[in-house]
């Protein structure tokens, strides 16, 4: 098993935290890091690692600001409308790289609403069609991407990696124990079982089990109220 493309830390970093010899627990650490990275992404509703050729479709926006899904917005390759016509680069600019805002210099990012009519003549308006395609460079180079390609410069904030390490640490230590066991005693072999609770993919699990990591990641959540 290899580290996933979205891994937010490295095996070497986890070995250092745990005081493990190099290569002594690669499989278990890889599993923990991959799960921790996926949990962090799910909790924040975003992808962190950098890709220089992201292509995504958007419905448009009421005003002049169009927000991409994978900030920070490092650069824009092209913006194309539904009919295939590419927007002149002079018609837009990066407004806020950190939050991923593209500003349309003149006008708005107009959308196209779908219109339906049933047999009775009643008209329904569906969700706007995704008419804008944006190709851009977004996200941060992670420590694992830098380890894989020495020519890259790390961009991922260190607190995000720290949060991922905290989650991975909990997952690593729990891999070989029954997560439903709350306590146990040696003589008499009694055990106390915890309630089922949530899974590690739930935000409630992260907040209750690794509150320090949740507190860090709260600053990077997108499109979420709580």
Per-residue pLDDT of 188-216, as tens digits, reads: 444 343 443 445 557 999 999 999 999 99
Is 96 found in the same domain as 27? no
Q: What is the mean pLDDT of the chain?
A: 87
b/e string for 14-45 if b means 16 or more Cβ within 10 A?
Answer: bbebbebeeeebbebbbbbbbbbbbbbbebbe
pLDDT at 34: 98
Q: Is residue 147 part of a domain?
A: no
pLDDT at 194: 44
d(CA 89, CA 67): 17
Question: Which of 138, 166, 187 is the endpoint of a domain?
Answer: 138
**pLDDT digit string (tens) for 161-195?**
999 999 999 999 998 765 555 554 544 444 343 44
pLDDT at 124 over 70: no
What residues make up the domain containing 126?
51-138
Question: Is the separation of the CB atoms in 74 and 138 below 8 Å?
Answer: yes
pLDDT at 118: 62
Is 75 found in the same domain as 95? yes
Question: Which of 95, 112, 138 is the endpoint of a domain?
Answer: 138
Which is nearest to 156 in space by CA: 170, 169, 148, 144? Answer: 144
pLDDT at 200: 56
- Report the domain count for the chain: 2
pLDDT at 142 over 60: yes
Of 46-55, 96-105, 106-115, give the lowest mean pLDDT range.
Answer: 106-115
Is 130 found in the same domain as 57? yes
Report residue 138 as tokens. Answer: 């977004």
Confidence of residue 1 (pLDDT cuts 50, 70, 90): confident
Confidence of residue 152 (pLDDT cuts 50, 70, 90): very high
Which is nearest to 45 in space by CA: 218, 172, 192? Answer: 218
Q: What average pLDDT score do residues 144-166 get?
A: 97
Confidence of residue 61 (pLDDT cuts 50, 70, 90): confident
pLDDT at 192: 43
Is 90 found in the same domain as 122? yes
Question: Is the separation of the CB atoms in 217 and 52 below 8 Å?
Answer: no
């Amino acid at each position: 098993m290899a580290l996933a493309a979205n891994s937010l830390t490295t095996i070497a970093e986890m070995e250092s935290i745990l005081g493990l010899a190099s290569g002594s627990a690669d499989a278990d650490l890889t599993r923990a890091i991959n799960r921790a990275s996926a949990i962090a992404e799910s909790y924040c509703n975003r992808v962190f690692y950098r890709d220089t050729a992201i292509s995504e479709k958007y419905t448009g926006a009421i005003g002049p600001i169009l927000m991409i899904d994978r900030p920070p917005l490092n650069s824009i390759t092209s913006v194309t409308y539904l009919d295939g016509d590419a927007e002149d680069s002079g018609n837009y600019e990066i407004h806020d790289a950190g939050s991923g805002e593209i500003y349309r210099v003149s006008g708005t990012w107009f959308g196209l609403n779908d219109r339906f009519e049933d047999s009775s003549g009643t008209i329904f308006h569906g969700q706007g069609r995704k008419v804008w395609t944006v190709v851009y460079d977004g996200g941060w180079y992670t420590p694992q991407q830098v380890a894989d390609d020495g020519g890259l410069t790390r961009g991922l904030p260190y607190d995000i990696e720290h949060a991922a390490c905290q989650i991975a640490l909990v997952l690593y230590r729990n891999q070989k124990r029954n997560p439903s066991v709350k306590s146990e005693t040696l003589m008499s072999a009694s055990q106390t079982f915890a309630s089922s609770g949530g899974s590690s993919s739930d935000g409630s699990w992260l907040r209750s089990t690794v509150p320090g990591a949740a507190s860090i990641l709260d600053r990077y959540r997108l499109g979420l109220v709580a």
